Amino acid sequence: MTIDALYPPLINGEFKAATAETFPAVNAATGEHLADLTASGQAEIDAAVAAALAAFPAWSRTPAAQRARLLLKVADWLEDNTDRLVQIDALDIGRTVFELPQDYRQAIGQYRFFAAAIMTHDGWTNSVQGGWALAKREPLGVVGQIIPWNVPAIMVSFKLAPALAAGNTVVLKPDENASLSTMELAKHLAEIFPPGVVNVVPGFGETAGAALTALPDVAKLAFTGSTEVGRLIAHAGASRLVPVTLELGGKSPNIVFLDIDDIDAVVDNTTFAATFCNGQSCLAGTRLFVHSDIYQDFLSRLTTAFRAIRVGSPLDPATRLGCLVSPAQGERVTSYIESGRAEANLVTGGGRVEVPGNEAGWFIEPTIFETSNDTRIAQEEIFGPVLSVIRWTDFDTMIEQANDVEYGLASGIYTSNLRNAMRTADRLQAGNVWVNQYVNLADGSPFGGYKNSGLGREVCKETLDMYTQLKSIMLAEQVPAPFYV
């Protein structure tokens, strides 16, 4: 597998940079230098936005069927190159080759879904006295998009597919910790789309990201990442009165009822909910509410399941938990674990694992704390394989605690009782509720959060509404009789 020595930004169909400044892509597990990327700054962002602005008129007039065909080409290329891209992501971010293929299956589904959805994304018409009322949907213009490092393939698809399908042009900034697979994709985006339609500018948030959010020619901002940065993006959009889509943090409740049919299956799914993506997921089920009558049995089995998770090299197909993306993230997670030791009961895990040949990686043992909902580890997003388990008895109290966080992105329910499932789903303050299968995502099913988890919805047909605006046209059959004469 080959990786380029240098990845400049994609601007107007060409890979070029105004600056010679670069930053390294580093193997998350070994510390090995993988490649260099241009540290894009104001000059690159200005050029990318100018290219996107120039390309917008022709692209916005391109028939939807043609835009759809090009999105399908992206999906086909990803399908043909999944194995190689999985290897690149495993090196770049420390996720395992076991779970990364699912990222690409989901990303491929997004391009194909929006290629189909745009074909039926219309305005409306209605007859009125003396004529007709029409509304048509039009793209917004240049869209600035900023994505995180945890699931790059998914994040790129969530942003590019609906924006391009709707007829917008794009300037995308990948995260500095996870740019390689995105820049590899950019090579083929340059071959598929007309120059300027898709521009990809690697760089840092405080320079490239800040420049992108401030430019007046950017007609919409879309961001996935931390709530703190999301607020900055929202302020930037508000200052220029442009629409903003935000998918932010989470501290999701996962609720186990007494009436579950298969306790081992639920243990397995709750383990997955807390540890997939090495725990680095905004939608992870990191607060597990277990009914008191089965609590001890469930916790015992859960502890066994956590201890059985194989921690190892991201490139080993037998590995189920790789390393965190960076030393900074490793130190963040371990500081939360130390906080948990002081305020909760550590059941298992909590240490750093040494993996031979991967000594630079931050491999964290799958960790369980018994705690209450008011502790720091139960309230704040950790972004690591750390689970807070909370005992519950009274339904109303449990619901109150499940909702008692600043976030409202995702949630889970395990029950064999339809009434329990529906009354709980109705009362949870979360944009996504999964019953009996955590992370049950489907193309076309809305994804987004309540409260500080963001604004807007992705993955669904309604996402196209956020990348378009309605124009009202009133068509009279004839000029009316004189009013002033």
**Residue 271, amino acid:** T
Cα separation, 338 vs 355, in Å, equals 22
If DSSP codes are grouped into helix, strand and coil, which group holds residue 226?
coil
| Cβ–Cβ < 8 Å for 193, 203 | no
**CA dihedral angle for residue 399, residue 404, residue 410, residue 415, rounded to 10 degrees:** -20
What are the respective helix, strand and coil percentages of the chain, to the nearest 5? 40, 25, 35
Cα separation, 378 vs 369, in Å, equals 9
Cα separation, 109 vs 107, in Å, equals 5
Helix (H) or strand (E) holding 247, with range, is strand 244-247
Helix (H) or strand (E) holding 13, with range, is none
If DSSP codes are grouped into helix, strand and coil, which group holds residue 80?
helix
Helix intervals (H) in 99-170: 100-117, 152-165
Indicate the burial class of 5 (C-beta count within 10 angstroms; 0-12, 13-18, 19 or more).
Answer: exposed
Selecting among 277, 282, 323, 460, the annotated active-site residue is 282
Selecting among 44, 247, 365, 458, the annotated active-site residue is 247
Give the chain's end-to-end CA distance (angstroms, integer).
80
Cα separation, 93 vs 284, in Å, equals 18
Residue 282 annotated as catalytic:
yes
| Cβ–Cβ < 8 Å for 32, 63 | no
Residue 460 annotated as catalytic:
no
| Cβ–Cβ < 8 Å for 330, 324 | yes
The region that residue 300 occupies, defined by phi over 0 for left and psi between -120 and 50 for alpha, beta otherwise, is: alpha
Q: What angle do CA 337, 268, 300 make, to 5 degrees?
A: 65
Q: Which residue has the tokens 């840092």?
A: 204
CA Rg, the chain, in Å?
A: 24
Residue 344 — φ and ψ, nearest 5°? -145, 180
Q: Residue 429 corresponds to which tokens in the numbers above? A: 């303050």
Measuring CA to CA, how many Å separate 232 from each of 143, 223, 235, 281, 429?
17, 10, 5, 21, 24
Active site residues: 247, 282
